[in-house]
Amino acid sequence: MRKGNTHNGRDLLEMMEVALAWLEKSAPAIDALNVFPVPDGDTGTNMLLTLRSTLEEAARVPGEEAGRMAQAMARGALMGARGNSGVIFSQIMRGIAKVLGDKATFNARDFALALAEASVLAYKGISRPVEGTMLTVMKDAAQAAQKAAGQNPTLTGVMEAASSAARDSVARTPSLLPVLAQAGVVDAGGQGLYVILEGTLHHLRGDSLPTLTPPVIAPSIPIIVTRAEEEEAYGYCTEFLLEGEKLDLEKLRKKLEKQGQSLMVVGDEKNIRVHIHTFDPGKVLSSAVRQGVLHSIQIRNMDDQHRAYLEMRHARAPTLALATVVVVPGEGLLKVFQSLGASAIVPGGKTMNPSTRELLSAIEAVPSDQVILLPNNPNVVLTAQQARSLAKKQVEVVPTTSIPQGVAALLALNYEAPLEANVQAMEEALKKVKTVEITRAARSSRFQKLAMKKGQPIAILDGSPVAAAPSFPALIEKLLPRLGLEGAEVITIYFGADTRREQAEEIAELLRPHFTGEMEVVDGKQPHYNYIISIE
């Protein structure tokens, strides 16, 4: 690598050569991750073959001009692009070439700008961009690179920032894309892009690759089992290169948009790379051949790939001694149970109770033959017991009827203890927590001596309505004599999706004078209930 802050085309080539070597070591692991937009199962291989084509074209460039080298790389990536990830990568290389195209040399700021343009063109190449994919990872990496270029104007500094941001972005992909969370993996294309960026960084640092092993990033959230859906068919992954004169990208894109999903149409007036998932490849090819000559046609049956993918995932899943499946409403509460180590989360709660099938799906998804199921809702307990009776695994239901009980149960879990001992400890923990659920009355009604008007704030203590008031602060004042706060050690207030933090803090301030222990206010984002208060 040339010393100093100026770099040429040969430096760019050497960076990408090391990135290729680093990707070669990672491709099988990336293949195992792939799950979106359908399980093609070959993202790592596609990116590897695309990058090889990129460098084969670049190796033919004489001289050391950065612009000519970048343009050759973009051309090689376009001609050799394979799969979703390969086409997106070709757009990334095109963006880099667009910025470096007229330069003999480049510096750190130039390359940061090139990464920014790469992100822009990557998004433009997708008819319906989806966050939580390698698009997001590229965007986050580019933003970090530009920031670093203003603070640390060296190429190593810029790529350190880009690589670090890419790693963090990959870990967050399951929180943006439910299908990743369901599978318990990060985005495969994003992982591949991170590996490429990290490979260039290894070259800039002078690291010895034979002594290193590429990491596979763990998701920053646990497995989430979403609402069960019917088995869907995927059709055919269809790819080809269209060659001609004065080709019209937008015209072809509009023509193909109605013929399938995951459409990508990228290139220029002479060469267009197309990727689409369709049930009728012949119709797609007929539409394209009217504009030019077809090359490198590939058609793969994704239904076959999906079955192979599921078999591979099952075979590679790690085995746990004990797993937990919990029913949770709200994004904030999901994060709470994530932090407590829940193995699988089924979206649910009041008015959106999961089915027996959904719970069974979650039980089968977790990598353990022993499972503890926490329904966290009185209306889910019977469904959970039904799932237990139908499951092929050893399943125990701890009949939690609220979110605070579910939290208490997970806190009592000891992974080194036998299943039966854990169930007993969890059930004992339920007796030590009080649950207050606060909402507005859906209709006017009466429960025993308590009259409730429609829209009025009401409080439910351990499953029974106990108070109603014209406002939430007034409701708390009414509740105080029933809560027994003098002997409590911990109070947690989970505020809902329709409640602001400052409103929750106001409720906390009303409780504090009557309580000497620890208090926490948590954004639960749960629907329907403005507050869920746990008293232990």
pLDDT tens for each residue of 271-299 = 988 888 888 888 889 888 888 899 888 88
CA-to-CA separations, 528 to 32, 94, 116, 330, 474, in angstroms, rounded: 39, 48, 42, 10, 19
Report which secondary-structure segment, H or E, holds 278. strand 271-278
Q: What is the pLDDT of residues 435-456, one digit of tens each?
A: 999 999 887 888 888 888 889 9
Domain 318-430 = CATH 3.40.50.510? yes
Q: Count of CB atoms within 10 A of residue 208's CB? A: 7
Q: In sequence order, what E strands does 166-260 have?
A: 223-224, 236-243
pLDDT value for 231: 43
Pairing of strands 464-468, 457-461: antiparallel
pLDDT at 393: 92
Q: Please report the pLDDT score of residue 249 as a whole number.
A: 85
Low-confidence ranges of the chain (pLDDT < 70): 1-4, 34-41, 152, 182-183, 216, 218-234, 303-320, 349-352
pLDDT for 289: 87
Check if the beta carbon of residue 86 is closer than 8 Å to that of residue 48: no
- What are the residue ranges of CATH 3.40.50.510 in the chain? 318-430
The answer to whether the CB of 67 falls within 8 A of the CB of 105 is no
Spatial separation of the C-alpha atoms in residues 86 and 499, rounded to whole Å: 44
Token pair in block for residue 462: 């351990």
Q: What is the pLDDT of residue 365?
A: 80
User: How much is the pLDDT for 223?
Assistant: 61
Domain with CATH 3.30.1180.10 in the chain: 434-535
Residues of the chain with CATH 3.30.70: 236-307
From edge to edge, which strands make up the β-sheet containing 293-301? 261-267, 271-278, 236-243, 293-301
Q: Which of 169, 189, 173 is closest to 221 using CA atoms?
A: 173
Distance of alpha carbon 188 from alpha carbon 209, whole angstroms: 22
Rounded to the nearest 10 degrees, the angle between the axes of helix 501-511 and helix 472-483 is 40
Overall fold of domain 236-307: Alpha-Beta Plaits (3.30.70)
Q: CATH 1.25.40.340 residue ranges in the chain? A: 9-220
Pick the CATH number of 434-535 from 3.30.70.580, 3.30.1180.10, 3.40.50.300, 3.40.50.2300: 3.30.1180.10
Kindly report whether the global pTM for this prediction surpasses the value 0.85: no
Long-range Cβ pairs for the range 478-483 (8 Å, 24+): 479/436, 480/511, 480/514, 483/434, 483/436, 483/514, 483/535
Distances (CA, A) of 450 to 445, 447, 458, 467, 528: 9, 5, 10, 7, 21
Q: Does 3.40.50.720 match the CATH number of domain 9-220?
A: no
